[in-house]
Amino acid sequence: MTARRRLALALASCALISIGLAIGATNSSDDQSRVIRIVAQRFSYTPSEIVLKKGEAVTLELEALDFAHGFNVPDLGIRADLVEGQVTRVQLTPEKSGVYEFHCDNFCGADHEQMDGKIIVQD
Ligand SMILES: [Cu+2]
């Protein structure tokens, strides 16, 4: 290996490490909100009950396992399309305590109407 080639490799490694650090920094700033993972699968969400604190910023990470489900929380003005096999992120900071129902609004089969849950926001 020539000295020049060695230098190029060293520079490339530095660049990769810098990129890694930059991505790490980006992630850590996003991570300030609590992440809540929700799995959507015919015909339920797991968990189906989510307890949040008023004023707490959270990120919902929704994953549809078997179908393109929907995620609709009408009273919080939130709706998202969940793509099968992908994670969909929804940012949320509830400003008012209460119980907010959510449901699947993309017809997914026989018990689609039963596919629902609730977000409980506590003071
Ligand atoms: Cu569904």
- Segment 15-71, tens digit of pLDDT: 544 444 443 334 444 557 899 999 999 999 999 999 999 999 999 999 999 999 999
Average pLDDT of every residue of the chain: 85
Residues 26, 38: one domain? no
Whether residue 62 is found in the same domain as residue 113: yes
4 & 57 share domain: no
Do 54 and 12 reside in the same domain of the chain?
no
CA distances from 72 to 13, 81, 100 (A): 45, 9, 10
48 and 27: one domain? no
49 C-alpha to center of ligand 1: Å? 16
62 shares its domain with 25: no
CB 94 within 8 A of CB 56: yes
Round to whole Å and give the CA distance between 23 and 19.
6
Q: How many domains does the chain have?
A: 2
Domain housing 102: 34-122
C-alpha 116 to ligand 1 mean position (Å): 9
Distance 72 CA to ligand 1 centre (A): 11
**Ligand 1 center–CA 122 separation, angstroms:** 27
Of the candidates 12, 75, 64, 68, the residue with the CA atom closest to the CA atom of residue 39:
64
